[in-house]
Structure 1
């Protein structure tokens, strides 16, 4: 069985796919070529992903680049337009394949899924309510009173006394007359109780009770320390991303979960602070609001390739 790739591996594959799309678009500048070479040279995994992207391009579209460019130079407008469209498809097919292959099979087979930036609210037959955040997947077996979180983040509100169990990689969460948010991260599962109380059964260690306003991290070696939880923080349930004097880098990493493509920023921006409530249905507007309130500029190569840079002072 193929091991599920890390979020870093998925990000590298996305970057390679984006570079491929840019080069095939015919709009890459010499600076773009130099940045691509720097990216390839910066780590062996980058070069490996790039070579895979190149091989996929040849597999999905066998026309050699030199021949394609020669054909584009011909004066027949219809031929040139058709070939440009074909080149675009040739770039997009391996792009989708590269990104798609980074998702484990159980995500594709899940009963319910959300894409990047998508949010779902699902009423269950017993009166409970399930919500899925961006890029999430869950399996549902109401007969067994079991929900299995495969990927991402979910919220579950169970108003009745019949418990529902959430199965996560690092343990079980038993929910009755309570509301809980559960988020899978790279190496842990964060459980936050919005109301009521839930029972936790970690893979290692004793069962424990978690009350409203508390959260804990479940890991392979058991539960971490119980901490305080602000019930207003998971604003995604209402389509809102909230920040209270939050470092910009931390805020952007969270925002990136809701945006397709690449969101980058220069390290000098990491320590700027952000406060506010931002609607997640328009992440481009969030970036515009950040540029209006902080000393930064938004550079958009495409809708899916955005970089934030410090604003230059103009004397």
Structure 2
């Protein structure tokens, strides 16, 4: 089960439990379930687990919530609390492997971290990333998420991934764990890649390739602006809004939903990742859509004049 599918199922479940789902939401959920067999399988697993834990004491589900509030918002908060307690927690555990919680260093959603290493090398972790670090052996293991490693000297460091390893010397590289493999992007220098079958290849500055169970895919040129997260920036150049939002939501805890009619709007600009609420506000004023925040962690984007 992919992380994206698990996250989507958790979000749909929380929405239905909130009691705030509209007929349009129900139709959209059915479309999502029908669009891929894995979607339906994940949804059924979540439903089964939800029923199994349906008799939990309400106080347990409410333990971490604020004091009750009157009206629809209180109903929403209670339902979100219950929904988040069991199936969502189970789904998230599938998104973030147990190894991620045991890792030497990890970042939360929206957090980025820079770590100085030996001999002038440096390691950067992007949002929701977990790594194990062995400085004595000069080894780094990417458990989950995305890292950037700069090794200016000749003494190599090795990055271990699920699908192989990278030998980095006098080079600057980014590695991102995806559902289908690891995307390896070399900014400068040359990086030696050994896949799980023992095949060795080399990627050079300006090249990017996918490393997966079958080996290293074809190398392609890439735009270094794609890696602006290292400077806390997300850059778009005439990018579809849907694609931009899917990238932006990696840096936001909670649920971000948007009307399908917004998918094809175009975005150009550089946006600071430290305040994603401001990014959404700026996009809304520029592109003419509306932002509806039910809570800090539940935001829906709609076309101007449409109901949330």
Same fold (TM over 0.5): yes
Could you tell me the TM-score, scaled by structure 2's length? Answer: 0.81
Q: Considering only aligned residues, what root-mean-square deviation do their CA atoms show, in Å?
A: 2.9
Distance 2:93 2:165 in 1: 28
Query: What are the equivalent positions in structure 2 for 1:167-206 lying under 5 Å apart?
Result: 167-204=160-197, 206=199
Distance 1:187 1:87 in 2: 33
Structure 1 match to 2:65:
none
1:195 Cα shift?
A: 1.6
Query: What are the equivalent positions in structure 2 for 1:1-315 lying under 5 Å apart?
Result: 6-17=3-14, 19-20=16-17, 22-23=18-19, 28=20, 32=21, 34=23, 43=33, 44=40, 45-61=42-58, 93-94=85-86, 97-102=89-94, 103-204=96-197, 206-312=199-305
Distance 2:248 2:201 in 1: 32
Q: Cα 1:5–1:60, aligned 2, differ >3 Å: closer, same or farther?
A: farther
User: Which sits farther off after the overlay, 182-191 or 4-13?
Assistant: 4-13
Note the alpha carbon deviations across 1:243-262, whole angstroms, 9 max, x for none. 11111111111011111111
Gaps of 5+ in 1: 64-71, 73-84
Gaps of 5+ in 2: 34-39, 61-67, 69-76
Q: Cα 1:118–1:19, aligned 2, differ >3 Å: closer, same or farther?
A: farther
Structure 1 match to 2:63:
none
1:182 Cα shift?
A: 0.4
Q: Cα 1:127–1:117, aligned 2, differ >3 Å: closer, same or farther?
A: same
Could you tell me the TM-score, scaled by structure 1's length? Answer: 0.80
Distance 1:53 1:37 in 2: 18
Structure of higher CA gyration radius: 1
Q: Cα 1:16–1:98, aligned 2, differ >3 Å: closer, same or farther?
A: farther
